Amino acid sequence: MELREKILSSYVAFEDNVNINSDLHEIRTKALQNFEKLGFPTKKLEAWKYTSLNSVLKEDYSIFPDRDASVEFADVKKYFIHEIDSYKIVFVDGKYSSFLSTTTHDGKDICLLSAAFSKEKYKPIIEKYFNKIAKQDNLTSLNTAFATEGAFIHIPKNVEVEKPIQIINFTTGKEHATMLQPRNLIIVEQNAHVQIIERHQNLNNNAVLTNVVTEIYTDTHATVDYYKIQNDNNDASLVDNTYIEQQKESTCSVHTFSFGGNITRNNLNFYQKGEYINSILKGITIIEGKQHVDHHTLVNHIEPNCESHQDYKGIYTDRSTGVFNGKVIVEKEAQKTNAYQQNNNVLISDKATINAKPQLEIFADDVKCSHGCTIGQLDGQALFYMQQRGIPKKEAKALLMYAFANTVLESVKIPEVKKRITKLIANKLGVNIGFEL
C-alpha cells in the first residue's frame, strides 16, 4: 500500500482516539480532505522543482509509533545544551516525556498542545491562533489533519522569559520506519521576549520522516529569537514548515543550522502585518555524501517602513545537493521597505550541486530591495598564503570555510548556542577550531 493510501485509511483509527465533537475536529477533517486532493508534493510543482521526496515516501512508515517508548537521560544528554539553564519540553516518538522535560507556569505557559486543546482556559487562545496563518498546502494539511501533540508556548504581554526554551523531538527508531507530525503553537504577546531552540534527533538507524508545523505569533513590540539545529543522521528526513505573523514594531529572527539528515526541507514564511517590523532569516548549511537541504523562504511585506534581512551560507561536498529558493514580496502599500537577501555557496567537490533561485516581487516604488547569489570554490591564493605560513592545508581550508560562515554566527545572541554550533562546524570540517568565542 502506498503511503498516501495508508495515511488516508489510518485516519479512521485516529478518530477513535480524539474528540470528534470539538471544533478542532472540523479543522482536521477539512485538512485531510485537502491532503487527499493534493497528495504529496512532486517535482511538477514549481516550489518543489529541485527536491524529490520519492525515495523517502517508499518506506513503510508506522503512522502511530509505539507510545510506550522511553529513553534514558544518559543516552540523550549530549543533544541538550547544558551550558545554559533552560526550560525543556521533550518528546519521545511523538509523546511528551515528563522525565526529560523541565517546564514552569510562573508568568508564562509552556506546556503541551494537547493540554491547550483540552483545557477551557486555553480555548479562546486556540480559537484565535491555531491554524490561522499556516498555509494549507500538501504537507501542512497532512500535519493539521493529525495534529495532536507538540509544544504550546504562550508568553503574556510584558513578560521577558529569563531563560531559553529547548524543544527537542527524539525518535527511538524502534519501528522499522517512523513518521512523526509534531505541531507547535507559539504566541508571544505585546512587549514580550522569548528565545527558543528546536531540534529533531533520531536515536537509531531506522528511517524517520518528520513533518513538523510551527506557527509563531509575534505581537506589537515583541521579540522572538529562534534557533533550529538540524544535525540528524542519514536515515532521518525532515520537512519543517514554519509560519510567522508579526505585528507592528516587532522583531523575529530565525537561524537555521543544517548539518545532517537525509533530505531536509525548510519552509520558512514571514508575514508582516504592521509598520516598523524587522524580520531576520539566517542559515548555515554544511553537508556531504548524498545529503540534500532545501531552504524555501518567503517574506511578505504588507505594511510600510519595515525591514527584512536574509543571509544564507552553504558549503557542499561529495555528491550533496543544496537548494535556496528565497522570495520577497513587497505589496503596493509597503512603501519605505528595506529588504535584503543574500545567498553564498561554496562547492568543495566537482560533483556537489547548488540550485539557487532568489526572487523579488515589488509592487511599491519607494523601496530599497536587493538580492544576490554567489557560487564558487575556496580561494586558491588564500589557501596558498596560509600554507606558506605553516598552516596545514586541511586546517587552512577549515579556517576559510569557518570565516565564510561566520557572518551568520556573529548574529547568534546566545553564547552557548554559538559555541555548540562552532563545535558542530568543526566536526563537519574534520578539524579542531582551537579558540573560544
- List pLDDT tens digits, range 4-33: 999 998 888 777 776 666 778 889 999 999
Q: How much is the pLDDT for 437?
A: 38
Bridge partner residues of 198 (DSSP)? 167, 228
- Rounded Cα distance, 257 and 198, in Å: 11
Which pTM value belongs to this model? 0.94
Residue 36, sorted as left (phi over 0), alpha (psi -120 to 50) or beta, turns out to be alpha
| Residue 171: strand, helix, or coil | strand
Q: What percent of the chain has pLDDT over 70?
A: 95
SS (HEC) of 276-322: CCEEEEEEEEEECCCCEEEEEEEEEECCCCCEEEEEEEEEECCCCEE
| Residue 38: strand, helix, or coil | helix
Q: How much is the pLDDT for 436?
A: 42
The three cell numbers of residue 244 are 510567522
- The amino acid present at 243, given as its one-letter code, is Y
CA geometry: angle 34, 11, 1, nearest 5 deg: 90
Closest CA to 65 of 178, 207, 212, 183: 178
- Rounded Cα distance, 76 and 99, in Å: 12
Residues of the chain short of pLDDT 50, as ranges, are: 435-437
| Residue 421: strand, helix, or coil | helix
Bridge partner residues of 429 (DSSP)? none
Length of the chain: 437
pLDDT digits (tens, 9 = 90+) for 141-164: 999 999 888 999 999 999 999 999
Q: Is residue 236 within 8 Å of 262, Cβ to Cβ?
A: yes
- Rounded Cα distance, 154 and 109, in Å: 5
Q: Which residue's entry shows cell 500500500?
A: 1
- Rounded Cα distance, 132 and 138, in Å: 16
Q: What is the CB neighbour count within 10 angstroms for residue 111?
A: 20
Closest CA to 241 of 200, 297, 166: 297
From the number of C-beta atoms within 10 Å of its C-beta (0-12, 13-18, 19+), residue 390 rates as exposed
Bridge partner residues of 360 (DSSP)? 328
The three cell numbers of residue 170 are 527524539
- The amino acid present at 51, given as its one-letter code, is T
Q: Is residue 165 within 8 Å of 192, Cβ to Cβ?
A: no
- Rounded Cα distance, 51 and 357, in Å: 13
- The amino acid present at 107, given as its one-letter code, is G
Q: How much is the pLDDT for 435?
A: 45
Q: How much is the pLDDT for 111?
A: 76
Q: Which residue's entry shows cell 518567503?
A: 298
- Rounded Cα distance, 33 and 293, in Å: 29
- Rounded Cα distance, 53 and 237, in Å: 9
